[in-house]
């Protein structure tokens, strides 16, 4: 029987990877992902997990080793954060273009500089175009569950793509939560052994990663794009199957108290938990406000998102990264792109908050809500705003 | 072996654009990359085989009389054989149109 235990989220994630019978772990420790990797190294060293732990010299090497490991047909796990993810950058494209279903957990953390080890989404958002399936967890239970789902999604022969599971650094990684740990048998029943659609095999030689000349590159990228977009129904199918097997439901886009809402907040990751409690309070005083959160970020769940926001007048989008010198946060930009050609569409109030580990409080949400309300009564949409900046965001140097 | 269709539709590509039929390097005749070709002065050649060993294309073979010979269907004209030859008996000669 699955038991509910108090566990540090990083430890539960490492143990969950163990329950998935990973064959190879190639990872380099970096704050705040360290405990995941340390604990896996311990499990292997103690003989509790029958896997190969490759103590690589960098994240670049970690991702390279993972590519080789999956290419050889081994179920492979890695974890990183921030600068480590940035160092993996070029190999992330290789993993997805070679269609290698690696599973990587990313403890989201701000990118330097100034050097900062705390949580925001600048690391993941600068890697949104690497061609991986990307899923966000809101709490420790989800972070662990999504590893099991992630393997089943990525390794599905209809998908065969790498998967990133994002969980907020420190806010989730270092917190002790009550977590229902499944049994090994439960996970085994849900997650079959890894059967790659193709692998490096001396008896049936193939070449992975040959040069793609101008005459082939366009077709290669089109095939990859279609694979990623076509993974969407499989993601839904796996989430539904997981719900039936484990009793915890997951959807690509999650809605909270959206019925009759005029203003909807849009969030990702752990701040959604704060936002839900805040929405409860507002609902108690009769405010027509709700919450929509992206769980799936790539492929972008545009149809489910459109359904989730139907009827809302204003979306208050909370980004935890922005494009410097650009037009705002990545989530808001994506939403605008998704809705631009719709005749009926909500207006957007765009906020950037929670940078480099700054907490997003009820007071912050209140301020965002007030600004969103002026839009709903016909005000002019202001440019995106780094709402927590002391001294105000918009001004001149 | 037969050369694979050089202009496939995206639906015809193997997963991850892998090459799943071995032998493509034999089918891809790289000799047309060459701008100059190696010429041996067989009077100086001592048949040591160092050019054969160093050729990155693996296209230098030994004739029946043991003298080396490059397969110009594959020789890219890199000149590594010239650089490595002990006796200096190989020179590169520019290809003429």
Asked if A228 and A321 sit in the same domain, the reply is no
B44 vs B3, residue with greater confidence: B44
User: In sequence order, what DSSP letters do the residues of A128-158 get, joined into one string?
Assistant: TTS--EEEE-SSHHHHHHHHHHHHHHHHSTT
User: For an interface test with A, which of B11, B18, B25, B28 has the most A Cβ atoms less than 10 Å from its Cβ?
Assistant: B18
Do residues A53 and A41 lie in contact, with contact meaning Cβ atoms separated by under 8 Å? yes
Residues of A in contact with B14 (CB under 8 A): 198, 206
**Rounded Cα distance, A371 and A350, in Å:** 10
Do residues A27 and A62 lie in contact, with contact meaning Cβ atoms separated by under 8 Å? yes
> What is the average pLDDT across A43-53?
98
Q: What is the pLDDT of residue B1?
A: 44
Q: Give the pair of three-digit tokens for residue A134.
A: 């990307």
B11 contacts A197? CB cut-off 8 A: no
> What is the average pLDDT across A365-372?
96
Asked if A120 and A22 sit in the same domain, the reply is yes
Q: Please list, in sequence order, all residues whose beta carbon lies within 8 angstroms of the beta carbon of residue A268, skipping any fewer than 6 positions away.
A: A121, A136, A293, A294, A297, A320, A331
Do residues A82 and A119 lie in contact, with contact meaning Cβ atoms separated by under 8 Å? no
- In Å, how far from its chain's centre is CA A181? 21
Q: What is the pLDDT of residue B4?
A: 67
B4 vs A247, residue with greater confidence: A247
Domain boundary among A246, A276, A291: A246
Task: Summarize pLDDT for B31-47 with one digit per residue, the tens.
Answer: 999 999 999 999 999 99
Q: Is the minimum CB–CB distance between A230 and chain B shorter than 8 Å?
A: no
pTM value is 0.93
Asked if A76 and A219 sit in the same domain, the reply is yes
Task: Summarize pLDDT for A62-110 with one digit per residue, the tens.
Answer: 999 999 999 999 999 999 999 999 999 999 999 999 999 999 999 999 9
Residues of A in contact with B19 (CB under 8 A): 206-207, 210
Q: What is the pLDDT of residue A379?
A: 82
Asked if A266 and A223 sit in the same domain, the reply is no
A394 domain-assigned: no
- Domain spans of chain B? 29-94
CB atoms within 10 A of CB A313: 17
- Whole-angstrom CA distances from A389 to A98, A327, A354, A373 are 42, 17, 10, 21
- Any idea what DSSP says for residue B87? S
What CATH number does residue A38 fall under? 3.40.50.970
User: For an interface test with B, which of A96, A223, A228 has the most B Cβ atoms less than 10 Å from its Cβ?
Assistant: A223
A212 contacts B13? CB cut-off 8 A: no
Residues of A in contact with B15 (CB under 8 A): 99, 160, 197-198
Kindly report the length of chain B: 97
Residues of B in contact with A210 (CB under 8 A): 17-19, 24
Mean pLDDT taken over chain A = 97
**Rounded Cα distance, B44 and B51, in Å:** 14
A23 domain-assigned: yes
Please give the tally of structural domains in chain A.
Answer: 2
Complex ipTM, two decimals?
Answer: 0.88
How far apart are the CA of A102 and the nearest CA of chain B, in angstroms?
14
Q: What percent of chain A has pLDDT over 70?
A: 100
Q: What is the pLDDT of residue A66?
A: 98
Q: What is the pLDDT of residue B5?
A: 80
Q: Which of A100, A212, A219 sits opposite B9 (nearest CB)?
A: A219
A396 domain-assigned: no
- In Å, how far from its chain's centre is CA B73? 7
A207 contacts B15? CB cut-off 8 A: no
How far apart are the CA of A155 and the nearest CA of chain B, in angstroms?
13
B9 contacts A220? CB cut-off 8 A: no
Task: Summarize pLDDT for A300-356 with one digit per residue, the tens.
Answer: 999 999 999 999 999 999 999 999 999 999 999 999 999 999 999 999 999 999 999
Do residues A208 and A200 lie in contact, with contact meaning Cβ atoms separated by under 8 Å? yes
B13 contacts A220? CB cut-off 8 A: yes
Q: What is the pLDDT of residue A215?
A: 93
Task: Summarize pLDDT for A15-32 with one digit per residue, the tens.
Answer: 999 999 999 999 999 999
Q: Is the minimum CB–CB distance between A222 and chain B shorter than 8 Å?
A: yes
Asked if A140 and A266 sit in the same domain, the reply is no
How far apart are the CA of B5 and the nearest CA of chain A, in angstroms?
11
Q: What is the pLDDT of residue A1?
A: 64
Q: What is the pLDDT of residue A377?
A: 84
Q: Is the minimum CB–CB distance between A206 and chain B shorter than 8 Å?
A: yes
**Rounded Cα distance, A225 and A97, in Å:** 9
User: For an interface test with A, which of B5, B13, B15 has the most A Cβ atoms less than 10 Å from its Cβ?
Assistant: B15
Tell me the CATH number of domain B29-94, given options 3.30.70.580, 3.10.20.30, 3.40.50.150, 3.30.70.20. Answer: 3.30.70.20
Answer whether the bond into residue A114 is a cis peptide, omega within 30°. Answer: yes
Domain range for A262 is: 253-386
């Amino acid at each position: 029987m699955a038991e509910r235990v108090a566990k540090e989220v990083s430890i539960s994630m490492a143990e969950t990877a163990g329950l998935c019978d990973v064959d190879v772990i190639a990872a380099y420790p970096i704050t705040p992902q360290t405990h995941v990797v340390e604990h896996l190294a311990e499990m292997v060293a103690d003989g509790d997990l029958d896997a190969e732990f490759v103590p690589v010299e960098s994240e670049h090497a970690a991702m390279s080793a993972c590519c080789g490991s999956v290419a050889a047909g081994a179920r492979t796990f890695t974890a990183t954060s921030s600068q480590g993810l940035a160092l993996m950058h070029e190999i992330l494209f290789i993993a997805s273009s070679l269609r290698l279903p690696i599973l990587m957990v990313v403890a989201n953390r701000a990118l330097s500089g100034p050097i900062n080890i705390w949580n925001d989404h600048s690391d993941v958002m600068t890697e949104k175009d690497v061609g991986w399936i990307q899923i966000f967890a809101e709490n420790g239970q989800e972070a662990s569950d999504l590893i099991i789902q992630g393997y089943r999604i990525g390794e599905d022969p209809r998908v065969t793509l790498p998967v990133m599971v994002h969980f907020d650094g420190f806010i989730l990684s270092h917190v002790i939560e009550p977590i229902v740990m499944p049994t090994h048998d439960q996970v085994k029943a849900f997650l079959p052994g890894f059967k790659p659609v193709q692998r490096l095999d001396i008896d049936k030689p193939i070449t992975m990663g040959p040069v793609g000349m101008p005459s082939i590159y366009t077709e290669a990228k089109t095939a990859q794009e279609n694979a990623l977009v076509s993974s969407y129904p499989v993601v839904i199918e796996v989430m539904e199957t997981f719900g039936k097997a484990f009793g915890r439901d997951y959807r690509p886009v999650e809605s909270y108290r959206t019925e009759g809402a005029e203003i909807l907040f849009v969030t990702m990751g752990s701040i959604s938990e704060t936002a839900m409690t805040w929405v409860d309070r507002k609902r108690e005083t009769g405010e027509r406000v709700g919450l929509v959160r992206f769980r799936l970020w790539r492929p972008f769940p545009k149809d489910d998102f459109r359904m989730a926001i139907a009827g809302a007048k204003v979306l208050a989008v909370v980004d935890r990264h922005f494009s410097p010198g650009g037009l705002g946060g990545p989530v808001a930009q994506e939403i605008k792109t998704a809705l631009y050609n719709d005749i009926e569409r909500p207006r957007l109030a765009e906020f950037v908050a929670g940078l480099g580990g700054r907490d997003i409080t009820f007071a912050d949400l209140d301020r965002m809500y007030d600004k969103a309300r002026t839009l709903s009564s016909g005000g002019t949409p202001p440019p995106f705003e780094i709402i927590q900046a002391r001294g105000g965001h918009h001004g001149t140097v | 072996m037969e050369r694979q269709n050089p202009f496939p539709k995206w639906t015809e590509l193997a997963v991850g654009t892998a090459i799943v039929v071995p032998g493509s390097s034999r089918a891809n005749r790289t000799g047309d990359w060459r701008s100059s070709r190696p010429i041996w002065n067989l009077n100086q050649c001592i048949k040591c085989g160092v050019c054969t060993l160093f050729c990155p294309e693996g296209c230098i073979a030994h004739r029946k009389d043991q003298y080396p010979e490059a397969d110009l269907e594959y020789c890219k004209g890199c000149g590594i054989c010239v650089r490595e030859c002990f006796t200096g008996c190989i020179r590169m000669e520019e290809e003429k149109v």
